Amino acid sequence: MIKESYAAFDDFWLDFLRAHSKPGTRAFHYAGMLAAIWLGVIFALSGHVYQLVLAILAPYVFGFASHALVEHNKPVSLKHPLYSVRGAIQMFVFWATGRLGPELARAGV
């Protein structure tokens, strides 16, 4: 499903969505992003560096858990770390703004 290389992010995007085909997997990812945002705000207010570290780690912890417990595949971040970060953010933004459905349909999910 996930190729070794992609010419551009747009080529990667649909495969990324296919690797996140189950709603439960995406829900874990959204929870991780929400936790990261919340922890980022707490860091901004408190200045405690550990909050920033937790904010960075939260999406990965939730994401890896989702692939192990729900999707039963390997996280794409292992092969394509930068595209994966962008994909996770884009998936979250599209979900939060109600635009993810057409993208999932385009990916055949």
Query: Domain total for the chain?
Result: 1
Q: How far apart are CA 77 and CA 81, in angstroms?
A: 4
pLDDT of residue 5: 81
Query: Is 22 part of a structural domain of the chain?
Result: yes
pLDDT of residue 82: 92
* CA 5 centroid distance within chain: 19
Contact 97, 4 (CB under 8 A): no
Burial code (b: 16+ CB inside 10 Å, e: under 16) for 84-101 equals beebbebbbebbeeeebe
Query: Is 29 part of a structural domain of the chain?
Result: yes
Query: Is 3 part of a structural domain of the chain?
Result: no
Contact 83, 16 (CB under 8 A): yes
pLDDT of residue 75: 84
Measured between alpha carbons, how far is residue 76 from residues 35, 48, 63, 79 in Å? 21, 31, 10, 6
Give the pLDDT of the chain (109 residues) as one tens digit per residue.
677 788 899 989 999 999 999 999 999 999 999 999 999 999 999 999 999 999 999 999 999 999 999 999 988 888 888 999 999 999 999 999 999 999 999 999 9
Query: Is 6 part of a structural domain of the chain?
Result: no
Domain that holds residue 28: 15-106
List all residues 6 or more positions away from 68 whose beta carbon is below 8 Å from its beta carbon.
none
Query: Is 78 part of a structural domain of the chain?
Result: yes
pLDDT of residue 1: 65
